[in-house]
Amino acid sequence: MVPHRLLRRVILSALTGSTTLDLAKKGLFYGKDAPALREERIRLEHDVDLLPGLAYDDSVLLVHAILGIRTEADELLRLLYEKLTGVPVTNAELADEAGDLGWYLQLLANAIGKTSTEVVAGNVAKLLVRFPNGYESDRAINPNKAAEAAAQEAA
């Protein structure tokens, strides 16, 4: 069992930088200007062209999806932290963030040329190979990656 105090510290540590990442995502993909990032953006523009010829192709879609997944997961983590520290959190707030996360997961599936059904079917196939008799710690720590990949491909 993880002590509450340790769990809260771990969550706060994980959330460090999440606001900056969210501002960067909003600046890159939604055109929102974030004064907090302006100085950093100016410094970076002198160093390197981060996304040359920013065309909304599969690579940019992948970046958008993964940054979105991370920032929405951070929102859920923030709500968990609030709940653990006694701040009221509603199921509606959790559902709202879960819906946002689902949207970005679908965006990721699109970026890799899969449907969400294919992604889930592949994951189920992988887990059936990993845990044919139910959960086992040793198999969780030492999975047979080749057998799992074959099962995912066949799904």
Helix axis angle for 18-30 and 35-47, nearest 10°, is 70
The tokens 């993909």 sit on which residue? Answer: 29
Mean pLDDT of the residues in the chain? 84
Q: Give the mean model confidence (pLDDT) for residues 16-35.
A: 77
CB atoms within 10 A of CB 108: 19
| Contact yes or no for 30/110 (Cβ under 8 A) | no
Q: Are 8 and 84 in contact (CB under 8 A)?
A: yes
Q: How far apart are CA 33 and CA 124, in angstroms?
A: 41
Of residues 128 and 35, more confidence is placed in: 128
If one compares 9 and 119, the residue with the highest pLDDT of the two is 119
Which is more confident, 79 or 55? 79
Which range, of 18-32, 45-59, 94-108, averages the lowest pLDDT? 45-59
**Cβ neighbourhood burial of 15 (10 Å; 0-12, 13-18, 19+):** middle
Residue range 3-32: mean pLDDT, rounded = 81
- DSSP structure string for 16-66: TTHHHHHHHHHHHHH----HHHHHHHHHHHHH--SSTT---SHHHHHHHHH
Predicted confidence at residue 46, as pLDDT, reads 45
pLDDT-based confidence at 34, cuts 50/70/90?
Answer: low
What is the rounded average pLDDT of the residues 25-37?
71
Task: Quote the pLDDT of residue 85.
Answer: 92
pTM of the model: 0.75
For residue 84, is pLDDT > 60? yes
Higher pLDDT, 126 or 59: 126
Domain limits, the chain: 4-113, 114-155
Mean pLDDT of 6-13: 85
pLDDT (0 to 100) of residue 37 = 58
